[in-house]
Amino acid sequence: MQTWLNNRYRVIQTLGSGGFGETFLAEDTQMPSQRRCVIKLLKPVTTSPQIYQLVQERFQREAAILEELGGGSNQIPNLYAYFQQDSQFYLVQEWVEGLTLTEKVRREGRVPEQIVQELLISLLGVIEYVHGKRIVHRDIKPDNIIIRYRDQKPVLIDFGAVRESMGTVVNSQGSPTSSIIIGTPGYMPSEQAAGRPVYSSDLYSLGITSIYLLTGKQPQQLDSDPQTGEIVWRQFATGVSNEMMQIIDHAIAYHPRERFSSAREMLDALGGVVNTVTPAYQVPATLPSSPETIPVIPQTTHSPRPNNSIFLGSLIAGGLIGASTIIALVLTRFSQSPINNTIGVTTPTEIPTLSGFIPENTLTPQPSKNSISNNTTPIVISSPQGNQTGESSFYFLADTAFSANREAEANKQIRLLQTQGYGNAGMLWIPDYPNLSGKQLFEVYAGKFSDRASCIELLRSFGKQNPDSYCIFASKNAKASPDRFYYKQITNSSASPVVSSSATENDYAFLSQRLVRDEDLANKTPLELDIMRNSIFAKYGRKFDTPGLQDYFNRQSWYQPKYSSQDFDKLNLLSRTEMQNASYIIQYQKKNNLLYFR
């Protein structure tokens, strides 16, 4: 692959390749920021001159649709440009830094029901907007949903329309048609596999995605009823409510007429109070009549199944104040503002969070007896009950500190932050974290993170309205550094914080979160680069054959050696981002002769 495209874009690395083409990460050298972007090379299935003009026309039309979609939703990547070069077609799109849902589940396990509900509510708003444009996505799956680091919103990527245009051929009647089916086996329903997608095809794919999140099972690992064709999955969904399973069953019904007729109908089934919240996207009252968009088969509408009424009735009849609070706050959070990743049962007073898909041993804590007054109930409290050691450490985006007798004011500040879109806003009780000052203070925070990089990413935008804000590392380990990092320290710099030579696991956490940049590697010694690269493996317990490396990591308190180098390579524990970063760093070292351990 050439290093430059269109005399403008410098290719940094290949992100993926397949039958339709390749995807690259690149820098736009004609922008002052040298912003990074994703470039998709699309290859027509035929180079026939007769077909090329048709492909070109379809490509331009579908690119215009992508531009419109990205401009109308901040959960769809923007289209920056498109061009042709050497008889090939290229799209230039916004680079979304984050983790796909596949990577999240692979690293952190199944997702609890409340978090899945939150994801669905956000994504259904996007799908409703897309369907309002008479477009069917056709490839909704965990790989095509990214939790964006900047604001923790789920972003829907990789629409199938342009790929379909690359499959244009002329049929036996002389008419242009597509020779390929868009979609992923297991995630697309039967009518889509037959080349006849409808709106509810996307809802089916979203339902299968939900099953993957709730169970950790890929579609190929699930059986189907030989008589009805329905997916058999409930036995794997431990801890999932019957109401939630009914909603998913409705979405993944074999026949389109048995599914939800629209994204709005599925939204209503999920919450029942969706209509009380300002929608994130304004959907036109009538669908556009333009035939230039993706053709879809009109779908027969139907009355909701009785089990939806049962579900909504159960929400009302239950009268659970905590559950109502969760739903209301979730819906508020998804209307226009940043949102903030998983296993476990949460209590009604907890606010579900996407920030980190919290692993099984770090459930949202309960208030400690000494930190809550008898007269008020905070919205979110991060003060662990009984000082449980399971609640080890987190990064918090600190906003305001309140003394112990000003808890009510702290709660008002939390509510204000939540109305501004920071649904993860809460408070922590300083004495519960021994590495902090120990003063009797409540610290109100806008976000809670498992790594430093994610906290600082949100700090970049949050600090513009709250310039005194900072990220702080709160730990049960009294010897740990608070690691405060103020907004003013990054005001005039877009570079990531420089890690120290005495690396710790938290120093290099960003290597699991985003792709490494040259500025992350600049001015580092060969030893620092070797430690940086191998920390990717060390976090999973890999042992090292090089004595110097093994000695170094043995001195790190977080390191727990488990696997020999030979066994580790067979386990496939690394995420795609981690694999790419390890490869990039070693290439950088070789290119610049910066290898320490040879």
pLDDT tens-place string over residues 474-518:
888 887 778 888 887 766 443 333 333 344 455 788 888 788 888
- Above 60 in pLDDT, residue 42? yes
Beta strand spans in 359-469 (E): 393-403, 426-429, 441-449
pLDDT for residue 164: 63
pLDDT greater at residue 167 or residue 390? 167
CA distance 231 to 208: 9
Looking at residues 376-400, what average pLDDT do you find? Answer: 51
pLDDT for residue 349: 26
Query: Hey, what CATH class is 509-591 in?
Result: mainly alpha
pLDDT for residue 174: 56
Q: Reading across the β-sheet that carries 426-429, which strands appear in turn? A: 426-429, 441-449, 393-403, 470-475, 485-486
pLDDT for residue 389: 29
For residue 381, the 8-state DSSP code is B
Percent of the chain at pLDDT above 90? 25
- Quickly name the fold that domain 98-171+180-333 has: Transferase(Phosphotransferase); domain 1 (1.10.510)
pLDDT greater at residue 182 or residue 274? 182
Span(s) in the chain for CATH 1.20.58.1690: 509-591
Which range has highest mean pLDDT (39-43, 165-169, 323-327, 404-408)?
39-43
Lowest mean pLDDT among 116-125, 427-436, 540-549, 571-580: 571-580
- Above 80 in pLDDT, residue 521? yes
Residue 27 class from Cβ within 10 Å (0-12 exposed, 13-18 middle, 19+ buried)?
Answer: middle
Span(s) in the chain for CATH 3.30.200.20: 4-94
Q: Which of 475, 514, 479 is nearest to 496 (CA)?
A: 514
Looking at residues 317-333, what average pLDDT do you find? Answer: 37
Beta strand spans in 283-386 (E): none
pLDDT for residue 161: 67
pLDDT for residue 598: 60
Residue 409 class from Cβ within 10 Å (0-12 exposed, 13-18 middle, 19+ buried)?
Answer: middle
- Any idea what the Cα angle at residue 368 is, between residues 367 and 371, rounded to 5°? 90
Span(s) in the chain for CATH 1.10.510.10: 98-171+180-333
pLDDT for residue 485: 80
- Above 70 in pLDDT, residue 467? yes
Which range has highest mean pLDDT (125-129, 338-342, 350-354)?
125-129
pLDDT tens-place string over residues 384-393:
222 222 346 8
Looking at residues 189-205, what average pLDDT do you find? Answer: 92
Is the C-alpha dihedral spanning 485, 489, 491, 495 positive or negative? negative
* Tokens read off for 543: 């042992």
At 39, the amino acid letter reads I
Superfamily classification of domain 4-94? Phosphorylase Kinase; domain 1 (3.30.200.20)
pLDDT for residue 273: 31
- Above 80 in pLDDT, residue 440? yes
Q: To which H or E segment does residue 214 belong? A: helix 199-215
- Above 90 in pLDDT, residue 262? yes
Looking at residues 537-555, what average pLDDT do you find? Answer: 86
- Above 90 in pLDDT, residue 204? yes
pLDDT greater at residue 562 or residue 488? 562
CA distance 436 to 427: 14
Residue found under tokens 């050691």: 389
Indicate the SS3 state at residue 51: helix
Contact 334, 125 (CB under 8 A): yes
Largest CA distance in the chain: 80
CA distance 396 to 455: 7
- Above 60 in pLDDT, residue 61? yes
Is the C-alpha dihedral spanning 581, 582, 587, 593 positive or negative? positive
- Above 80 in pLDDT, residue 383? no
Query: What's the mean pLDDT when you consider all of the chain?
Result: 74
Catalytic residue ranges: 139
H helices of 366-492, in order, are 407-419, 452-462
